[in-house]
Amino acid sequence: MGMSWRLVLPIVLILAFLVTVPIWGGRYPTYLTIQIMLLVVFALGFNLLLGYTGLLSFGQAGFFAVGAYVSALILLQVPSLLLGIVGGVLAAGLVALVLGYLSVRLTEIYFSMLTLSFGMMIYSLVWRWRAVTGGDDGLTGVPRAPLDLLVVSIDLSDVMNYYYFVLAVTVAAVFLMYRITKSPLGLTFQAIRDSATRAAFVGIPVRRYRLYAFVIAGLYAGLAGAMLAPLERTVTPIYSHWIYSAEPILATLIGGIYVFAGPIVGAVLFIGIKEIIVRLTEHWMIWMGGIVIVLVLGFRGGVVGTILGWLDKDQETARAEEEKPEAPGAKRQPEAGE
């Protein structure tokens, strides 16, 4: 069973669009698209936790910051992009492993509060540990080092070139996450989300799998952070602030938590809307908050979830035809309103 053209066609169009952005778009749209892609990676990781495993983390900025700082520190020492990114990702994964081990003992709001506290701890650590992090000045002069691939060395110092690196990594990260969500591992996460008790009573060690989801989310946050450092060339404590944790949360809520594409579309909308309103008003956060509330209340299940729901209605009707009750008593229930 291959992918249907209904899936392939939009993907091809989107990729074609993305590949040509630096050609027709100019510097700022290119930069903005990189920002969107970073948020896509960040939010996809976050939603593996929320939408797929049922865990709301308020501390993801902590892992983003670990990725950003470690990649910056490496790049300031060794001018190898690959080393910087991989180092940042692994560091974030390691921190997520340790903090996740402690966090997944709790669930629901207690889990959320604990992740918030850990995020705040990382924030103050970044502030205080001047010798390493540069305190409130942050780390400056991070080089956009060349990408060394065996024999070739690709110069990425121009944002237009760096764009293609981020695009390639993002496409790979999205594809990988898609595979995870469709795999037995992804189904295991979803089972835990739906009922942790039932999951235990089919034999799933729930905590361990929550930890796996937490680490994957941490790796994705770290990847987004690690790619940000060479883009901005400076890393400051703001990236570890809990307000920054809200970005993937809002993007995901806008797009929809129960659909794979939710965080992707949500990231585009979030940055798009933000970009427009910061030009119109100083108090962009208030407006952003208002817009998010309208979107979340107006599109239950997110923008993508709602639109898919509309498209699905026809198929539902067709499917109902095909289902004939097998046992005489097994009448189909009337459709619950969605």
Partner 1 sequence: MNPILEATNLSKTFAGMRAVNDVHIELYTDRVTGIIGPNGAGKTTLVHLLTGHVQPDQGQIHFEGRDITRLSADQRVMGQVCRTFQVVDIFPRLTVFENIQIARITREAKNLRWFGGAAKEAREAVEAALEEVGMWGFRNRRAEQLSHGQQRRIDLAVTLATDPKLCFLDEPTSGVSPKERDQMLELIARLAEAKRTTFVLIEHDMEVIFNLCAHVICMHRGAILAEGTPDDIRANKEIKEIYLGEEV
Q: Where do contacts with partner 1 occur on this chain (CB under 8 A)?
A: 179-180, 182-188, 190-191, 193-195, 197-206, 209, 258, 319, 322-331, 333, 335-336
Nearer to partner 1, 207 or 233 (CB): 207
- At 112, the amino acid letter reads S
Q: What is the CB neighbour count within 10 angstroms for residue 68?
A: 33
Q: What is the CB neighbour count within 10 angstroms for residue 190?
A: 16
- Give the torsion through C-alpha atoms of 199, 200, 203, 209, to 10 deg: 70
Dist. CA 214–CA 48, nearest whole Å: 8
Nearer to partner 1, 8 or 243 (CB): 8
CB of 74 to partner 1, least distance (A): 27
CB of 296 to partner 1, least distance (A): 19
Q: What are the tokens at 232?
A: 């901005």
In 3D, which of 298, 217, 229, 294 has the Cα closest to residue 263?
A: 217
Nearer to partner 1, 51 or 225 (CB): 51
Dist. CA 22–CA 35, nearest whole Å: 14
Nearer to partner 1, 36 or 219 (CB): 219
CB of 241 to partner 1, least distance (A): 32
Nearer to partner 1, 125 or 200 (CB): 200
CB of 92 to partner 1, least distance (A): 19
Nearer to partner 1, 186 or 225 (CB): 186
CB 209 within 8 A of CB 194: no
CB of 101 to partner 1, least distance (A): 17
Dist. CA 151–CA 79, nearest whole Å: 16
CB of 321 to partner 1, least distance (A): 11
